[in-house]
Structure 1
C-alpha cells in the first residue's frame, strides 16, 4: 500500500514541569543521533527518511531487515538512529562516519560491519491503514510497545510516566544528554515544534580561556559574533575547544568587544592552530564561564553558551584543565 509521508514532530527546549503536573508526562531519554521516520510497506521493504525528508535507507544496511519485522502489516514509525560507544552511550561523532553514505552502498556496507548503528523507536504514526496521529501519545505508545519491535539493530525502550526529577538525575549520572518529556494526552503534530514535547538537556559549566573572536555580521557588525575559547591540558598547552556565539546581552557584548580590542595580537595562542576562517586572535588573558551539553571525542564543546566573564580569575588560576576527550 502507499504510506503517507509524515514530517516528524519536534520538541521545544524547556525544563521539568511543576511537581503537581509530573504525572501528566512521560519521559524518554534524549538521544544524540539522526532522527528518522521509518516506512514499512508490508512487503519486506523499509524506507528511512531523515528530518529533511531525504531518503537515507542506503546509509544503514543493517536496518534493512526491519522491513520484515511486522510481516505484511504496513506501518510508519518515528525514531532515532544512534551510534553507540564502548560504554553504550550515543556518540554523534561516531554516527557522522555513517551519515551521508545513502548513495555509497559499498562504503555503507563496510561501515555497517565496523560501526553498526542502533535504531531507537519511540512513536507509531500509522498502522495497518489507520492514522494514529489523532490518538494520544499514551495510546500510540501502547500500540507501539504491543508490536514487540526488538531486534539486533533496533529496539523500543520503555517510557517512564512521572518521576521526571529522578529520571533526569539518572541521565546526568550516566553521562547522557537529557530527557524528552511528552504529554500523555498529546496528539502527534507533524512538522510542528510543539510544547507538548519538551527537551531537557543536561548542561555542564566550565571555565575557559578566550584566545580569539570572530567578527559579527548585520546588527553585530563591529562587535564579536563569537569568541574562540580553549582550555589548558595537563602540560599547560592551551587547546582550542570551540566557538561560543550566544549568551550575551547587548551591553555585555559591547564590553567584551572593548576588552578584546585591548588584547589584540597577530599570533594564535592555541596549539595546534585551529585555522578558523576570519579569526582575530587575542592574548589569552580573559577567563569566561560557559555551559555546554556534551563534549565530542576530541574534547570540543557542544552547544556552548556564554554565562559570564570570570574577572575574579586569571588564566593561571583557572582550574579548567582539559579533561579526557570522552568525558
Structure 2
C-alpha cells in the first residue's frame, strides 16, 4: 500500500477542517502482523532495519497499520539534515537508541484485520487515540489543531516546514494526491533527480561541489538548475558519493544540455537519485531560483517526481 498524499494549495478554513504540523522527515507506513513490524517508505522501500527503535510498535496491537512521519528533533524542531545519516543503511540498536528518531503517527489504516480506509478521518483519528501509542518511547501522536492560521504562523516563527489541513470527513485514498489533504508551506520546495555533478576544483576533486538537477516531463528529463553542496558536511558528501557509485554515464541525461558555464567539468549520471531543494520560484526558462540543497529523499520514488509550483 502506498500512502495518501496531500495537494499543495492555499490554507483552507472552516469547521470541516483540522490542522497538523507538516513534519520535516521521512514518511513511513508501519505494519504490525504476527508480532513483527515492517516499516516501508512511500516509495515501497523496506527500512525496518534502519529504525530498530521502532520495533516496540508490536506492543500497540497484534495487527495494525499506522501512517506517520519519522523525524529527528533538534531543540524540539525537526531537522531533515540530521535525519540524513539514518535513512540509507541499517544501524545497530545501540546507535539508534543513542539518538532515537520519533515516529509522529497521524493515521491508522487497519486494526485487528479490519480495513479503516473508508472510515472518515475523524473516526480513524478517534481510533488512533484509543491505542496505547504512549507505551513506545519513540512514538508520538501528531497533535491536531482547529485554528489553521495560528498554527501556520507558529510554525513559521519556529522555522518549521508548514501545515497540513485535512477534511474531517475524508476517507483515505492510498497512492494519490487528494484535495481533502492540503499542504501549505512557508517556502517553495521541489523534489528533483540528479542528472550530473561537478567536483570541487581544489584538493583531490573527490568532494562534490554542485549537483545538476532535473525534473521529468513527458518521458524526458528537463534541466532545472544547479544547486551547490560543496559546503555540506561530511555525512552528506558520503551519502551522495555512495548513492551515485556506479551511476556515471558518458552522455547527459537531460533533454537539452545544460548551459556550458554550468555543465563545465560535469560528471553525468543516471537520474535515479532523488533530492529535495528549497527555492524562490521558477524562472521563465524553467530554472529554480536560488536553490538550496535540503537532502536526499530516499522515501520518494523517482517515478513520482513532478514539477511543483509550491
Same fold judged by TM-score > 0.5?
Answer: yes
Match of 2:140 in 1: 155
In structure 1, the partner of 2:278 is 303
1:173 Cα deviation (Å)? 1.1
The ranges of structure 1 where at least 4 consecutive aligned residues each deviate by more than 6 angstroms after the TM superposition are 212-219
Candidates 65, 79, 92, aligned match of 1:108:
92
Residue number among 40, 43, 47 corresponding to 1:49 in the alignment: 40
SS in 2 for 1:65: helix
Kept after mapping to 1: 8 A contact 2:187/2:278: no
- Rounded to whole Å, the distance in 2 between the matches of 1:197 and 1:165 is 16
Shift of 1:84: 1.5
Match of 2:77 among 73, 77, 89: 89
1:58 aligns with 2:46: no
Query: 1:24, CA displacement in angstroms?
Result: 1.1
Q: Map of 1:109-258 to 2, 5 A cutoff?
A: 109-150=93-134, 151-161=136-146, 163-203=147-187, 225-228=223-226
Q: Distance in 1 between matches of 2:120 and 2:216?
A: 44
- Give the drift of 1:305: 3.4
Aligned equivalents of 2:56 and 2:121: distance in 1?
27
Answer whether contact 2:106 2:125 (CA < 8 A) is retained.
yes
- Measured on the aligned residues, the alpha-carbon RMSD in Å equals 3.7
Q: TM-score if structure 1 supplies the norm length?
A: 0.60
Native 8 Å contact 2:2 2:44 kept in 1 = yes
Extract unaligned runs of 5+ from structure 2.
189-209, 229-257, 269-275, 285-289, 293-310
Aligned residues: 230
Distance (whole Å) between structure 2 residues aligned to residue 157 and residue 217 of structure 1: 32
| CA 1:53–1:16: 2 relative to 1, 3 Å | same
Greater Rg by CA: 1
Shift of 1:216: 8.5
**In the alignment, structure 1 residue 28 sits paired with structure 2 residue 20:** yes
Q: Offset of 1:121 from its aligned partner?
A: 0.4
Return the match for 2:29 from 37, 41, 63. Answer: 37
Could you tell me the TM-score, scaled by structure 2's length?
0.63
Gaps of 5+ in 1: 1-5, 205-211, 231-256, 269-274, 279-300, 310-319, 323-327
> Relative to 1, partners in 2 of residues 1:60 and 1:216: Cα closer, same or farther, differing over 3 Å?
closer
Deviation at 1:12, TM superposition (A): 1.0
